[in-house]
Amino acid sequence: KGICHSITIMMESMEGAGEKAFPLSERWGLAGQKMFDHFIEMSSSTNLFPDEMQGLFDCIILMLKGVTIQDTNIEDSVVIVTGPATSGRRRRSYSIGSTNGIGQIESYPKTMSSCLIKFLEATIKNKGDKIVCRMCDSLNRLVLGRKSWCQGIFPKLQDTVQTSIINLLITLRCDSAIESSGLVLLGLPWTTSQIINAMCSKISRASDIDAGGLSALTTILECIRSHANSLACESGFALPNVMFEKLATLSKIETFTDGTDYARTCIIHSLLSLFISRGSQENDPGKKVAKDISSHSELLVSLLSQRNEVMKPLVSGRSKSLCLQLLTQLCSSSPMLVAESLIPVLQSSISDEDNAQVTKDAVMSLVPTYCKYAPKTGYRLLNLLKAIFEKVNSLDDLSWEYHLQLYKYLITALVSCMNPQDGSTAVAMVLAAYVSNEAFKAKTTLQESDDSFLYFIGELPSLLDKDISINATLPTLKCIGRLIRFSHVGIDSMSSEESNFFSFEPKAMCNVIINGPSKECDIQLPLGRQDQSSVLWTILTMIHAIKNVFLQQSVRKAIRNSDDERAKICLKIWQELMVLQSFTAHIRLEKAEGKGTGGKYFDVITDEISTTLLELQNLLPIPHFLAAVTSLIQDTEVEVEIQRRAILLLAERASETNNLSHEAVLFLEMVSDLVTLAAVNLDFQKDANTFRRPAILAQSAFKAIDQLLKCFVLSFPDEKIIRSRSKVFIPVQKSVSECLSMLAIGFNYQKLSSEDEMAVFNLKVQVISSAALCAASLITLMKAKCLAILPKLVNPLVEFLISANDAKKVMNSEKTDDGLPQSITLVQLSVLRALVAIAEHIPQFFMPYVDKLLTPQGLPSMCLRDGSTEEEIAVSHMADRLDTAISKGIPARQLAPILSKATSRFLGHQNTLENSWQESLVIFKILKSSIESASRSDIGPLAGKIINSLVQAYSFDCDAVTRCQLMDTANETLLAMVMRLSEAQLRPLYARLREWRGDINTSASDTAAARRRNAFWSLSAAMSKELRSIFLPCMSNVVIDVVKELELAASCLVSSKLSKGQKRQKLETPHQGDISYSVISLQPLLLCLELSLKADAHEGGNWIRGDEGQRYSQILYPLAQLLSATVPNDFEILPLVLFESKQRSFTPYERLIQGETTEDHGNIIDCLTALAAAAGNEQLWKPLNHALLEACGNEKRPEVRKSGVKALLSIIHTLGEEYMVLLPECLPILSELLEDEDEDIVALAKECVQQGEELLGESLEDSLR
């Protein structure tokens, strides 16, 4: 170690002394070479190589770098430190040119180069030796990998030495896996000849096709990519030729191996780097180079298109993408030779649906290249499009989604590589060629378009920039015009000056439509019927695509905010549309006269052009647009559909205009013209054709007026301007009222027998709906200013609503499905909207019409409340809104008498309507809302009227389900009134209700009395639930009634008589068949009693313990007796509507007595539990406990035993420890119940015992023995 350290210090000192003191060549000859040779020999014979020896080795090999120090006075700052040396100092490495003190040896000694080669060969020989590899790595890092050696020494070496070093480094990199050798190779200044020699060398093995050879080849290719710029500067095609030759060799199927595809990818990548560095070559490449380029392009095409059976196609997507890029670079080198080859490559890429990315790469790279260089070869865009469509047509298994994606790529590629004008022309050509190809594929007289095809046509504008979409419209329209003229007149209007790369002559277009993209045949005019239909379908579809452009929001916005340039384009489009409209209208007239075929198609084409023209007019600046609309609606010769569309466009344009802008005033000036249209005389006695025009114009005018009113007046924030603008709409009042009054005459539903009658009816509906909606907006604006027309407005509206409800009822019963129900629903919704506006904005003037509105077929009608469709739900919501508006807008003192009268109409004795009770629910809903909106002082005087309405609901004779709904609604209304009364007002009100109920009469024939008792206890339960302890004074007045009801129920349902000693008058017991009706009030009574007892328990139980406990005893005994009741199967128990499974699971006894499913509706056990909770002391609990134990001991009926133990468990749960004083009395009975045959009873008994043990804190097992 000491020797190595000393030598290292000595060598570094000599180096630092400078070249003059110790020349590098002498140091190397006297010591360096010998020690280097010694290290070579030692490395193969020892396994030890300590750090000190490594430091000495590094010091020696630094001599091979050839760096000398010329001036010893250089500051230390120029020294680059590379790491610690074994001597403890810093090992130094010098950068050439950093200072004048650093230089290179003038003549690199041959012994140094020979030692380098000798060492590299020794490393290859001992490639498995770690010490050798370590030394080699040091050599690579400190010498060969340094820029000073690579750039300064290596180029001066002899060619043979350079070649030897290169081959040895490649071998070390590939066979010995020494990564630093690869880094050295990347830093060497390669020449073309060296690259070629290395690729063909047997020494480097790069010429072999085995794994080692492919590894060496990829290493060389990596160096090519690294030095692509310098290699590309050398003239000639020698290196690319060698690389293409190597690519061809590796691509042969007979030589293809596992690693070949990666090697091919590396070759293509390196070639691409070379050609990118070369740039485009505008000069003539020469015959030899041209021949080479042609050969190379054919090779690439064969690798991409699978046209050569000898060559293995490329596999990976990356290799294909790189190959496509290389092909485009070749095209830039020689477009005349390569451009034609792009088409088959693109066709091949299209067929690869499983690799969409490859298809995208191919389209995005090849299409721009083709468009750039194909014009030089005489090819046109049409050649490319026809080739694409030809390939697509041959691939039947391609999905439509892939088709659409492919065309999206194509359009994107075209637009990206052209200026906006050429891009727009290209897009128009793609559209024309695409639709033509689809027409060829369809081949039918009446084309049935595929949904995906129509989707693509609709989506096409969204793929493009708005300006390109607009600009593409003009060449598309010109293409349509030329096709129409050629196919029907035989004139080819395309001049020779217009023929260019984008040309698509009408003759060529017809050829694609008729013969497809792969054939070229002469077109014989006139066209046959089928061919003519295909051409007309193409024209119609292209017009439809243009219309879709103007439906795009971005395009519409762009046209409205057009600058001068865009405005000129829009004007040209409008002019072209006008020409087309005129020309097609002329052909349409000829077809109508019997000259030729295709008349139906031309009808549709002309209409589509007119619609598109109107769309464009709608997008024009507002002054021009309004002038065009005014001209249309004033022209009586224009078709009514066009006029209607113009008016609707006016409304649509108004909704998109800022109401604060000056343009809003221009729209308001249109109101007078619209009023003129709306004020026409609608004579319904005329036939449908005569009636159609004025009806359509009136409906459209009302709709437009409504829209203008909403946009420019109702939504305006300034009240002053609103008043100013509202003057414009004053004439509308008269037009609306007169129109509705006229339409109300004879508007009654009847079965329509003809299409003509149905058409007239639908027109009436549309006019009524639009006029009613316009009236709603007008009322919202004018409010009290509309009082003069209010009778002419409200009366027809009410008549329309009644007639519509009558018609809907008939239709529902007849299950009509002819489209009329939708029309009737439309009338209902619009009329309700108008009535809502009146009720909300001028409710004080709406009151005289409410009584007429509240008829059975008026507002309460179920035809307005039922339905599941969106339209019917909207009607229901609007009817609810009108209910609310009436109840909140009209004072309760005025509304209550009207509602009371309406209730008598629906529920009174004179009512003959079926199911009229349903309409009464609406009346009570309005009454409840009105009560809630009224003040307490208003309700007091109205109590009588309200009670009269409620009594009619409570007395109504109906089935159980209806009675439940009626009483629930009536109780809600009653509670709304009670909550507005004081406690002093409540007691006389309740006394009056008790008086209305009458005495407890057990006569089976008096069903009205039974209904009154049921209703009374139902409303009492509702009031008790809401008022709680406040209601207890009222309950004090009916305790005797409670006892009588319970005793009546016990006498009817329990076979045993009352206990002895009870001197109480026996109640007459009804016959068995009338039991259910006689005790119909039992369940609401139980609920009322339970709620009152719970409220009393919360207040301390003073109410039930009143009269020294007599009240408690009076209630307890009949209530306890009912535990043994026999409940008939037909007994009505709430809730009535249950899941089917629950109805089968529980008997009437279980529901009424035990409380199964009746927790919220009243039952015996819950009532007994509440009684025990309110009693609150042991003395009162004892008789209750005795009654429960007596029920538990019933030997004949297990359900009674179950009721007893269940009631006991419920009381224990409620009272807890307080009830444990009575537990000893219960234990003998519980002991017997634990051995009962019924498992449910045993389980309940066990739970009682467990609860007792938990509360007492001790086991009861001994007490149960």
Q: What is the pLDDT of residues 1093-1152, one digit of tens each?
A: 999 999 988 999 888 889 999 999 999 999 999 998 888 888 875 444 444 578 999 999
Structure-model confidence comparison of residues 370 and 1004, the more confident one: 370
Please give the distance of CA 764 from its chain centroid, rounded to a whole number: 38
pLDDT digits (tens, 9 = 90+) for 18-34: 667 777 777 787 777 77
Q: How far is CA 531 from CA 446, 632, 671, in A?
A: 11, 37, 50
Identify the pLDDT of residue 1086: 95
Torsion sign across C-alpha atoms 842, 845, 851, 855: negative
Residue whose structure tokens are 């080819």: 492
Q: Enter the tokens of residue 62.
A: 């630094």
Residue whose structure tokens are 């449910």: 1240
Q: Enter the tokens of residue 672.
A: 């007078």
Structure-model confidence comparison of residues 1198 and 482, the more confident one: 1198
HEC string of 1007-1055 equals HHHHHHHHHHHHHHHHHHHHHHHHHHHHHHCCHHHHHHHHHHHHHHHCC
Identify the pLDDT of residue 1059: 39
Lowest-confidence region among 290-294, 986-990, 1101-1105:
290-294
Helix (H, G, I), strand (E, B) or coil at 296: helix
Does a cis peptide bond (omega within 30 degrees of 0) precede residue 240? no
- Which amino acid belongs to residue 717? P
Lowest-confidence region among 378-392, 899-913, 1056-1070:
1056-1070
Helix (H, G, I), strand (E, B) or coil at 1057: coil
Distance between CA atoms of 1185 and 1171, rounded to whole angstroms?
A: 12
Q: Answer yes or no: is pLDDT of 378 > 50.
A: yes
Q: Answer yes or no: is pLDDT of 284 > 80.
A: no
Distance between CA atoms of 472 and 475, rounded to whole angstroms?
A: 6
Q: Answer yes or no: is pLDDT of 49 > 70.
A: no
Distance between CA atoms of 706 and 776, rounded to whole angstroms?
A: 9
pLDDT digits (tens, 9 = 90+) for 1216-1237: 999 999 999 999 999 999 999 9
Task: Tell me the sheet residues that pair with 67.
Answer: 104
DSSP 239-272: HHHHHHHHHHHHHBGGG--TTHHHHHHHHHHHHH
Lowest-confidence region among 526-540, 570-584, 688-702:
570-584
Distance between CA atoms of 241 and 985, rounded to whole angstroms?
A: 113
Q: What is the chain's mean pLDDT, rounded?
A: 80
Identify the pLDDT of residue 491: 66
Outline where 1196-1238 has alpha helix (H).
1198-1215, 1223-1233
Q: Vertex 348, ends 346 and 350: CA angle to 5°?
A: 70
pLDDT digits (tens, 9 = 90+) for 153-186: 888 888 888 888 888 888 888 877 788 888 888 8
Q: Answer yes or no: is pLDDT of 1187 > 90.
A: yes
Q: Is the pTM of this model over 0.85?
A: no
Please give the distance of CA 210 from its chain centroid, rounded to a whole number: 56
Distance between CA atoms of 860 and 926, rounded to whole angstroms?
A: 10
Helix (H, G, I), strand (E, B) or coil at 552: coil
- Over residues 1011-1037, the mean pLDDT reads 93
pLDDT digits (tens, 9 = 90+) for 462-479: 667 788 888 888 888 888
Helix (H, G, I), strand (E, B) or coil at 82: strand
- 389 and 437 Cβ atoms separated by less than 8 Å: yes
- 1229 and 1237 Cβ atoms separated by less than 8 Å: no
Distance between CA atoms of 1082 and 1153, rounded to whole angstroms?
A: 11
Q: Enter the tokens of residue 557.
A: 């916005």
Lowest-confidence region among 308-322, 882-896, 1024-1038, 1120-1134:
308-322
Q: Enter the tokens of residue 670.
A: 């249109």
Structure-model confidence comparison of residues 926 and 131, the more confident one: 926
Q: Answer yes or no: is pLDDT of 1013 > 70.
A: yes
Distance between CA atoms of 820 and 816, rounded to whole angstroms?
A: 8
130 burial class (0-12, 13-18, 19+ CB within 10 angstroms)?
Answer: exposed
Please give the distance of CA 105 from its chain centroid, rounded to a whole number: 75
Identify the pLDDT of residue 1140: 43
DSSP 833-857: HHHHHHHHHSGGGTGGGHHHHTSTT
Structure-model confidence comparison of residues 4 and 1100, the more confident one: 1100
pLDDT digits (tens, 9 = 90+) for 822-836: 888 999 999 999 999
Q: Residues with Cβ < 8 Å from 467, sequence gap 6 or more?
A: 420, 558, 566
Distance between CA atoms of 330 and 293, rounded to whole angstroms?
A: 7
Q: Residues with Cβ < 8 Å from 689, sequence gap 6 or more?
A: none
Q: What does DSSP assign to residue 1101?
A: S
Identify the pLDDT of residue 795: 93
Return the H-helix or E-strand segment holding 279. none
Q: Answer yes or no: is pLDDT of 910 > 60.
A: no
Above pLDDT 90, what percent of the chain? 26
Q: What does DSSP assign to residue 92?
A: E
- 86 and 5 Cβ atoms separated by less than 8 Å: yes
Distance between CA atoms of 722 and 710, rounded to whole angstroms?
A: 11
DSSP 436-469: HHHHHHH--SS----HHHHHHHHHGGGGS-HHHH
pLDDT digits (tens, 9 = 90+) for 195-222: 888 888 777 667 666 676 778 888 888 8
Distance between CA atoms of 1020 and 986, rounded to whole angstroms?
A: 12
Confidence label for 56 from pLDDT (cuts 50, 70 and 90): confident
Confidence label for 96 from pLDDT (cuts 50, 70 and 90): very low
Which own/partner contact pairs does 676-679 have at CB distance under 8 Å and 24+ positions apart?
677/633, 677/647, 677/701, 678/702, 678/705, 678/732, 678/735, 678/736, 678/739, 678/771, 679/734, 679/735, 679/738, 679/739
Identify the pLDDT of residue 316: 76
Distance between CA atoms of 943 and 1163, rounded to whole angstroms?
A: 32
pLDDT digits (tens, 9 = 90+) for 509-538: 888 888 888 777 777 677 777 888 888 888
CB-facing half-sphere around the CA of 1044: CA atoms within 13 A: 14
Within 10 Å of residue 802's Cβ, how many Cβ atoms? 20
- Over residues 382-388, the mean pLDDT reads 81
Please give the distance of CA 550 from its chain centroid, rounded to a whole number: 25
Lowest-confidence region among 68-77, 487-496, 643-652:
68-77
Lowest-confidence region among 638-647, 969-978, 1190-1199:
638-647
pLDDT digits (tens, 9 = 90+) for 779-837: 999 988 899 899 999 999 999 999 888 888 888 777 666 567 788 899 999 999 999 99
Closest CA to 120 of 169, 193, 183: 169
- Over residues 427-453, the mean pLDDT reads 71
Closest CA to 879 of 890, 891, 864: 864
Report, in angstroms and rounded to the nearest whole number, the Rg of the chain calculated over CA atoms.
Answer: 51
Identify the pLDDT of residue 90: 46
Confidence label for 494 from pLDDT (cuts 50, 70 and 90): low
Distance between CA atoms of 923 and 932, rounded to whole angstroms?
A: 14
- Over residues 736-740, the mean pLDDT reads 90
pLDDT digits (tens, 9 = 90+) for 223-233: 888 888 887 77
Confidence label for 83 from pLDDT (cuts 50, 70 and 90): very low
Q: Answer yes or no: is pLDDT of 97 > 50.
A: no
Identify the pLDDT of residue 684: 56
pLDDT digits (tens, 9 = 90+) for 1050-1088: 998 987 443 333 434 444 445 444 566 678 899 999 999
Identify the pLDDT of residue 1061: 39
Q: Answer yes or no: is pLDDT of 84 > 60.
A: no
- 188 and 157 Cβ atoms separated by less than 8 Å: no
Q: Enter the tokens of residue 651.
A: 């409304």
- Which amino acid belongs to residue 355? N
Identify the pLDDT of residue 122: 80
Longest dimension (CA), the chain: 147
DSSP 696-726: HHHHHHHHHHHHHHIIIIIT-S-HHHHHHHH
Q: Residues with Cβ < 8 Å from 154, sequence gap 6 or more?
A: 162, 165, 188, 189
Structure-model confidence comparison of residues 427 and 289, the more confident one: 427
